[in-house]
Amino acid sequence: MSNVRVRFAPSPTGFFHIGSARTALFNWLYARHTGGTFILRIEDTDQARNSEAFLKLIYDSLTWLGMDWDEGPNPSGVGERGSYGPYRQSQRGAIYQRYKQQLLDSGRAYEKDGAVWFKLLGERYKVFDDHRKKEVEKVKTSPVVIDDQIRGRVERQEDEDFVIFRSDGNPVFHFVNVVDDIEMKVSHIIRGEDHLSNTSKHVRLYEGFGVTAPVFAHIPLILKSPEMGQGKMSKRDKGALIEEYQKRGFDPQALVNYLALLGWNPGDDREKMPIADIVKLFDLPGINQSNAKFDGKKLEHVNMLYTLQQNSTQFASGSAAYFKQQGLETVLLDQPYFNEVVLLAQPKIKAIGELPAYTSYFFRDPVIDSKVKDKVMAKGEPKVRLAELIAALPAMDFSSDTAIEAGIKSLAEGKGLGFGDYQAVARLAVSGTNAGPSITSMFRVLGKDRVLARLQKFLASA
RNA sequence: GCCCCCAUCGUCUAGCGGCUAGGACAGAUGAUUCUCAUUCAUCAAACCGCGGUUCGAUUCCGCGUGGGGGCACCA
């Protein structure tokens, strides 16, 4: 195992979204690529906004996406693993106190207005800040130089003392973040670019503790797609929540694959890649510097590729799990029938979540789409064709697709017509719509009795 | 307002001084198919602007513009 230690440090204050997942993923990939350690640390210091439900969501989402962590709370939420715990900040109060005291003792921190401030070294002067509309004390300091693995050399001036413990006694983010990273021996900090400006504070804190700062790598942000508007993607945007893709029956591997490609690429034209290949090729220097806009269409496409690739056993069991999750377990009563149905749909859909709607007429009477009906009934003599089909059906061989096809074809030829003359209206009568699997396999799976009944019912009401 | 980051088709991107600027998604057209979807062809689509550096800039530098982020006793 290498010395690389990276961490993902979410706050359980909201839904788990795409941006967080991507940050987690890059950390996870780097850990797995280097044979290092992936740490999950929960930043739950914000008592007011924390919730156990959101905490569970973090564990579940990471697990669903296949990102396992080496240290941190157990996925069950009970107990934890790793020797640098506790891994929840709410339980690390004593450590923060110790580090605060160290700073106080060394003169690098002081109390003012009931809060504890970190003290910058340098000449002090006062200036009016017209953004905050008040006079502030500034400090002349040498610029902080950050040697970022992705951004290169970044220089930033840190010129104001800042609070590390609020007057309510709670430590602030910058402080706990640095302390934990020191304590947990984090070697590389891979996080969103929105933290780049904060990094100068963090570097000063490392210096204050007399510790060498870890390697920084600030990854580009995920922005809204043009249709969604401007700015970075937030939990409120459509498609931003991991949960949504679970609900839509996406393959987590597809989501991970797509996310990996947002800001990184293997260096060639490959896009659909097994996770093992991504792990092998992933590295910090390969990460892009510019922000990427989220494209739900491309994600769907990638997911379709993964859906297509699943073998029938995988697809059927994945589908069954999905129906169960959606509270539609009644369709599973006849398992062999269910399997036949979903396998018919597999090559037609982009995500398993489309199945319930796409296959509904296999499990109950079809709902006739009136628009489609108007179109179909306007062409040729559909009612006559239907009647002919009903008459011919009882004698037809339903044992295979080819047998059914032959049956309909011979009927058509007998009347001097084509297969297509029966197809549209039969499809409408049986499924209620104009899109779906081939009419022959639809007939075969439904069975002759059901098909006949539906054709008759439709003709009677047409 | 101040500070930081970024800039190739609508989108994700390849390119790391000399290319007909490549691929993918989305879009258009055609073929295939019993419908739909797939698949397969074909098409359309980009180097933000201006100055430098150089024999030569998409590529290096500066400025401008544009986009993004940060400036709290939030995380």
Question: Nearest nucleotide (C1') to the CA of residue A193?
Answer: B69
Predicted-complex ipTM score: 0.95
- The fold for domain A92-219 equals Rossmann fold (3.40.50)
Here the tokens at position A275 are: 């996770």
Range name among A23-37, A342-356, A408-422 with the lowest pLDDT average: A408-422
List the single protein residue with the shortest CA to C1' distance from B12: A262
What are the tens digits of pLDDT across the range A222-266? 998 878 878 888 888 878 899 999 999 999 999 999 999 999 999
Interatomic separation, CA of residue A89 and C1' of nucleotide B6, rounded (Å)? 33
Which nucleotides of strand B lie under 7 Å from a protein CB?
A: 1-8, 10-15, 22-26, 33-38, 67-75
Percent of chain A with pLDDT over 70: 100
CB contact at 8 A, A390 and A449? no
Please name which of A122, A42, A128 lies closest in space to residue A87, comparing C-alpha atoms.
A42
Choose the weakest-confidence range: A98-107, A318-327, A376-385: A376-385
- The gap between A262 CA and B60 C1' (Å) is 27
Measuring from the CA of residue A221 to each C1' atom, give the nucleotide at the shortest distance.
B68
Q: CA A348, C1' B38: Å apart?
A: 7
- A321: Cβ contacts below 8 Å, ≥ 6 apart: none
Top-level class of domain A5-74+222-296: alpha beta
Closest nucleotide to the alpha carbon of A194, via C1': B69
As to burial, measured by CB atoms within 10 angstroms (0-12 exposed, 13-18 middle, 19+ buried), residue A147 is exposed
Beta-carbon neighbour count of residue A293 at 10 Å?
15
pLDDT exceeds cutoff 70 at A1: no
DSSP conformation letters of A175-234: HHHHHHHHHTT--EEEEEGGGTTTHHHHHHHHHHHT----EEEEEPPEEPPGGG-SSB--
Angle of the A52-65 helix axis to the A252-260 helix axis, nearest 10: 80
> Tens digit of pLDDT for each residue in A297-339?
999 999 999 999 999 999 999 999 999 999 999 999 999 999 9
pLDDT digits (tens, 9 = 90+) for A20-56: 999 999 999 999 999 999 999 999 987 778 888 999 9
Smallest CA–C1' separation from A200: which nucleotide? B4
Give the count of alpha carbons within 13 A of A69, CB side only.
Answer: 31
Q: From the CA of A286 to the C1' of B5: give the distance in Å.
A: 17
Question: What does the pLDDT look like over A451-462, one tens digit per residue?
Answer: 999 999 999 987
In the structure encoding, which two tokens stand for residue A24, read together?
Answer: 């987690």
CA distance A271 to A220: 19
Give the span between the Cα atoms of A454 and A429, in whole angstroms.
Answer: 6
Smallest CA–C1' separation from A168: which nucleotide? B73
Q: Which residue has the tokens 């009677």?
A: A460
Mean pLDDT of A408-429: 90
The C1' atom of B67 and the CA atom of A231 lie apart, in whole Å, by: 9
Integer distance in angstroms from CA A255 to C1' B37?
Answer: 21
Residue A291 CA, nucleotide B6 C1', distance (Å): 7
Question: If you classify domain A370-461 with CATH, what class do you get?
Answer: mainly alpha
